[in-house]
Amino acid sequence: MTIDQDELRIRVRDFLAAHDPTSTARLDYLRARYDAGLAWISFPEGHGGLGLTRDWQAEVDEAFAAAGAPGNDPEHRNGIGLGMAAPTILAFGTPEQKERFLRPLWTGEDIWCQLFSEPGAGSDLANVSTRAVRDGDDWVVNGQKVWTSVAHLARFAILVARTDPAVPKHQGLSYFVVDMTAPGVDVRPLRQITGEAEFNEVFLTDVRIPDANRLGDVGQGWIVAMTTLGNERVAIGGLFVGREAGMIGLAARAWREHPELRTPELHDRLLRLWVTSEAARLAGQRLRQKLAAGRPGPEGAALKLVFADLNQQLSGLELELLGADGLRYEDWTMVRPDGVDFGGRDAGYRYLRAKGNSIEGGTSEILRGIIAERILGLPAEPRVDKDVPWKDLEK
């Protein structure tokens, strides 16, 4: 049965009438919402959705928020799970994998992280050297991953590993779901310029992964990973939600609260950045409406590129608008944060944290290459290692 927007509104209203968020336990409430198909409404029935267009998701979320319903991403812990793992599982997972992973992922019972980058494979992700060797019904994995956000909190991880070193690098990869509590998984903190350790390095030593936890076919890991990364860029770049939300709202607030520091030059910069932020917000809204579930296009690279540049410019402008107060930094003690927060604690934190925006989710240089080749149709960069077996490449 096809559901129109009016029927969807009725379903939301009836659910809210039957489930009082003030008297229902948080987890029970989220599970019930998922089972009613009012979690990801664009996902299939039985997997938290109703098979509808994404256009109406914001309206559904707003209705639940207005009713005081609990959120499903506590302390911004599960952005990787919700924005990257879930659409990848939807696109490539078996029915059993979808049944097993999606519900506790959406409710926040299971936190997810991403094991992609390595010391020798960051921007060149296809060069990963972490090995996965088949052993009966399992794969035995050895290697090192780096820059892994919230690995210290995660229950599961999405992993790209090399399963065939005798073929060109893009062809010899496979994609797995890793139990982060399995023997051989060692998570170590990486202290950042902010003083905290949101990132981690992860060492995998003889970690056994059941073949049932493989997403996609053996050797299809690059294709699966591109779906994940495309969704990551949309998830990061799509943080422009609501007018004057995010970093532009903080800069505008500083402008209003410190009239004594205003200058024509700062006013001009603020207006230019406000216009750019608004254009990015509307572009992100349009992109999300166009996305088919789990299959983002290269437009997400442009959105994420703009996000990184804007955040860095706006965090710098906010410091200038705060004058001497902008030099303060609340706390530089070593902490293991409960999640990822681009907004941060204060202006000093935001300025330092924004430096990572042009690296995480694909460096700005890589994103410019994607835009040039896949959107503008410019000639591709020469790739001399494209047809060379990975084992024969210079390491």
Closest CA to 244 of 204, 212, 273, 265: 273
Q: Mind listing the pLDDT tens digit for each residue in 160-191? A: 999 999 999 999 999 999 999 999 999 999 99
Query: 355, 170 in Cβ contact below 8 A?
Result: no
Burial class (CB in 10 A: 0-12, 13-18, 19+), 87: buried
Catalytic residue among 196, 232, 299, 318: 232
CATH topology of domain 112-219: Butyryl-CoA Dehydrogenase, subunit A; domain 2 (2.40.110)
Percent of the chain exceeding pLDDT 90 equals 63
Domain residue spans of the chain: 5-107, 112-219, 224-375
| Gap between the Cα atoms of 29 and 35, Å rounded | 10
Task: Return phi, psi of residue 55, to 5°.
Answer: -55, -30
Helix, strand, coil shares, percent, the chain, to 5:
45, 15, 40
CATH topology of domain 224-375: Butyryl-CoA Dehydrogenase, subunit A; domain 3 (1.20.140)
Instruction: Region of 338 please: left (phi>0), alpha (psi -120 to 50) or beta.
Output: alpha
Chain-centroid distance of CA 39 in Å reads 18
| 232 has catalytic annotation | yes
pLDDT at 171: 96
| Gap between the Cα atoms of 36 and 3, Å rounded | 14
Asked if CATH classification 1.10.390.10 holds for the domain at 5-107, the reply, yes or no, is no
Question: Averaged in consecutive runs of 10 residues, what is the pLDDT profile of the chain (395 residues)?
Answer: 87 96 94 97 94 86 94 81 93 97 96 95 92 98 95 97 97 98 97 89 98 98 92 65 81 92 93 93 74 62 89 94 84 76 78 89 88 90 88 87
CA distances from 328 to 94, 319, 352 (A): 51, 10, 12
| Gap between the Cα atoms of 213 and 138, Å rounded | 9
pLDDT at 275: 94
Taken as a whole, the chain contains a residue count of: 395
264-290 and 299-322 helices cross at what angle (nearest 10)? 150
Task: Return phi, psi of residue 267, to 5°.
Answer: -65, -40
pLDDT at 294: 46
Closest CA to 87 of 284, 231, 237: 231
